[in-house]
Amino acid sequence: MLKSKYAVKQISVFLENRRGRLAEVAGALLEADINIRALFLADSSEFGILRMVVNNPEKAKAILVSKDFAANETDVFAVEVEDKPGGFYRVVKVLADEGIDVEYTYAYAGSSERAILFFKVKDEEFEKAVEALLNQGIKLIEAVEVYR
């Protein structure tokens, strides 16, 4: 199963638009010594969803739930691309050709000349997406590497 190897557990937190709420999430993670590797905040006028890739998703979820945050896990996969024009295009082109919808994606530029892209697709299309990308010689990062 490609999924068990490449599924990165992303933590999603439902947040009302209230002052200080983000700081409370971040504070809770700090307290538990959790490092955030990448994050993205999707928002509407009244609430937001904070999506994070962290070094220890299970612990992060447990700590957030214990503090009454509405936190959940979602499977995403991580793709490594060269940090130059066309890097992103190569990946989304493959997915488009396969007819796979990207629900959302975000990037993490990192420190080297390579960038990491996180992708969320429908759960039932996860395998197909990963397989298509690997077939096209695109580099996917194993979940264990992402948490490291």
Taking CA atoms, 93 is separated from 86, 99, 134, in Å, by: 10, 10, 13
Task: Residue 132: count other Cβ atoms within 10 Å of its Cβ.
Answer: 17
- Closest to other proteins by CB, 6 vs 69, is 69
Interaction between residue 46 and other proteins (CB under 8 A):
yes
Interaction between residue 58 and other proteins (CB under 8 A):
no
The β-bridge partners of 70 are 14
Among 30, 31, 42, 89, binds other proteins (CB under 8 A): 42
Q: What is the CA radius of gyration of the chain?
A: 16
By CB under 8 A, which span of 10-18, 107-115, 125-133, 134-142 interacts with other proteins?
10-18
- Closest to other proteins by CB, 36 vs 134, is 36
